[in-house]
Amino acid sequence: MNKIIEVSGLTKNYGPIQAVKNIDFYVEAGKLFAFLGPNGAGKSTTINIICTLLQKDAGGVVVDGFELGKDDQKIRERIGIVFQESVLDQYLTVEENLFTRGSIYGLSRHTVEENTAKAMKVTNIADLAKRRYGTLSGGQRRRTDIARALINRPKILFLDEPTTGLDPQTRKSVWDMIEELRRDEGMTIFLTTHYMEEAEKADFVIVIDDGVIAAKGTPAELKDKYSNDSLRIKPTDRDAAIRILKEAGAAFTETADLIVVPIRATIDALPLLGRLEGLIAGFQVLNGTMDDAFIGITGKEIRE
């Protein structure tokens, strides 16, 4: 296992407020790593520290073998970052933006031109090359932002809430691109998000809340551990069904016309359904979702 980012005891305070409290984690090379948490949980702070933008107060960070605080320049050469807000120049064309940003990495002109063309190809914006950044749509901008982050051929790509504020269709196309980069370029992707369905696609998820790591694991592990599957039945004879459930010792909750029975695994629904046969009009067996897991972990709905 190759740890490309290692964080230990990371702490950051803003005056009396502790934004990040002594957290440890690592990121495996070539994996898609998601930082999930509500707004203000410390996601951006952590990402900004790793990207050399913010000074940490305590702890150690090693990125691709280089120690943060000592070899910042080396780290900067190896990372690309997509910020929440756009950081490109309105009045410059897509190509000019990419070329200017590419030329501050100390690469030869030829390499910069090559990288610019490659980045535009990967993000599928070659036909926008001569358009001014300010005239692009939200989705086109986002793709250009990602192209900018790829301009130095980074080993690690950071994305801070890459799909916030985009319409569902654009969100999907951005997401497809991210998965493609990981698959075809073997790039390590580190992203923060507060969308459950995005965290679900990651190889590994860390849930951060109030500056501490509340849970970590693969999406499947998190769902297993923190959410329940459930059996929903629509009874024809409500009282009889409830009596049988009580006999079976199953906990349940009632809604308007449904009875919801939490179960450990979907397979546990079978014996119950056998006993209820004849008393129900229909049923549904549902897997736990990341939403459930998130609520299970933090005890709160995701804050928008």
Partner 1 sequence: MILQLVRRNLRVYFRDRASVFFSMLGVIIIIGLYLLFLGNQIAGAGEAAGENARFMMDSWIMGGVVAAASITTAMGAFGTMVDDTQKKIIRDFEVSPVRRWQLVLAYVLSSVCIGILMSFFTFGLAEAYILINGGMLVSLFAFVEVIGLTVLSVCSSCAFVFFLTCFMRTSNAFSTASTILGTIVGFLTGAYIPMGVLPEAVQTVIRIFPVSHAAVLYRRIMIDEAVALELLPADIRQFLGIEFLFGDFVMPAWGHVLILVGTAVVFYALSIVVVARRKHQS
Q: Which stretch binds partner 1 (CB under 8 A): 74-82, 123-131, 170-178, 223-231?
A: 74-82
What six digits make up the tokens of 269? Answer: 């629904």
Q: Compute the distance between CA of residue 254 and CA of residue 275 in angstroms, rounded to an integer.
A: 18
Say if CB 272 and CB 245 are below 8 A apart: yes
What six digits make up the tokens of 228? Answer: 């329940």
User: What sign for the dihedral angle of Cα 296, 298, 299, 304?
Assistant: negative
Q: Which is nearer to partner 1, 39 or 218 (CB)?
A: 39
Contact positions with partner 1 (CB under 8 A) in 104-143: 104-106
Q: Which is nearer to partner 1, 91 or 218 (CB)?
A: 91
Q: Compute the distance between CA of residue 93 and CA of residue 114 in angstroms, rounded to an integer.
A: 17
Contact positions with partner 1 (CB under 8 A) in 77-106: 77, 79, 81, 83, 85, 87-89, 91-92, 96, 100-101, 103-106
What six digits make up the tokens of 142? Answer: 């986002």
- Contact between 76 and partner 1 by CB under 8 A: the answer reads yes
The distance of closest approach from Cβ of residue 135 to partner 1 in the complex, given in angstroms and rounded to an integer, is 12
Number of residues in contact with partner 1 under rule CB under 8 A: 24
Q: What share of the chain is helix, strand, coil (3-state, %, to 5)?
A: 40, 30, 35
- Contact between 270 and partner 1 by CB under 8 A: the answer reads no
- Contact between 253 and partner 1 by CB under 8 A: the answer reads no
Q: Which is nearer to partner 1, 161 or 200 (CB)?
A: 161
Tokens 């693969």 — which residue? 218
Q: What are phi and psi of 108, to 5 degrees?
A: -70, 155
- Contact between 196 and partner 1 by CB under 8 A: the answer reads no
- Contact between 51 and partner 1 by CB under 8 A: the answer reads yes
Tell me the pairing of strands 204-209 and 229-235. unpaired
The residue ranges that bind partner 1 (CB under 8 A) are 51-53, 73, 76-77, 79, 81, 83, 85, 87-89, 91-92, 96, 100-101, 103-106, 148, 152
